[in-house]
Homo-oligomer: A and B are copies of this chain.
């Protein structure tokens, strides 16, 4: 993986309907529905609270201190995409700001996930263009070395294939392989179906110990109550 100097124009995007169904469940539920895999590292934080989106990944591999490929990526964005950018080395420079956000939005992007830095966060917040990043930095970047667009890459510890479904909210970012998007949406829905009932019971004072029948396994594991 990680071929440099490549732009893949045609990628297989996760089915739109399934992708759109994922956002309301949120990252924690989708991650559980997937069998607890696909999460990016928790250092990826939103630039403002409250955004909750899903979309299909256009991937960008950047070089440290160089945002040239984000401009190349803009052309590959289709309506409903989320740009997912990684860098060949840890780097906190501000690779992305309000001009690129304007361009990405005009192309149909719903947000950006970048394992590096971002700037103009006040304007981005006013625009309502959500970004999940490793850092905020005003440090500018050059445009001189090639990376790639729409190659598989590792972003914040998670493998992302172009076209994969991405879900992001205040808890972080999760990747759903394109072929599993529909199944993940179903599993998330099933999972959430009985959460309302559980929540009501817990709110009434029922203990998880009883609701989840944990007392017996705890005792078997050797838990001792003392006074």
Contact = CB atoms under 8 A, between A and B. Distances in A.
Chain copies in the assembled complex: 6
A193 interface: no
A122 B49 contact: yes
B171 A137 contact: yes
Interface in A95-111: 97-100, 102-103, 105-107
A138 interface: yes
Interface residues of A, number: 101
A169 interface: yes
Interface in A31-50: 31-32, 35-39, 41-42, 45, 48-50
A85 interface: no
B137 A172 contact: yes
A50 B209 contact: no
B91 A64 contact: yes
A75 B207 contact: yes
A88 interface: yes
A202 B102 contact: yes
Nearest to A101: B202
A5 B170 contact: no
A8 B222 CA distance: 14
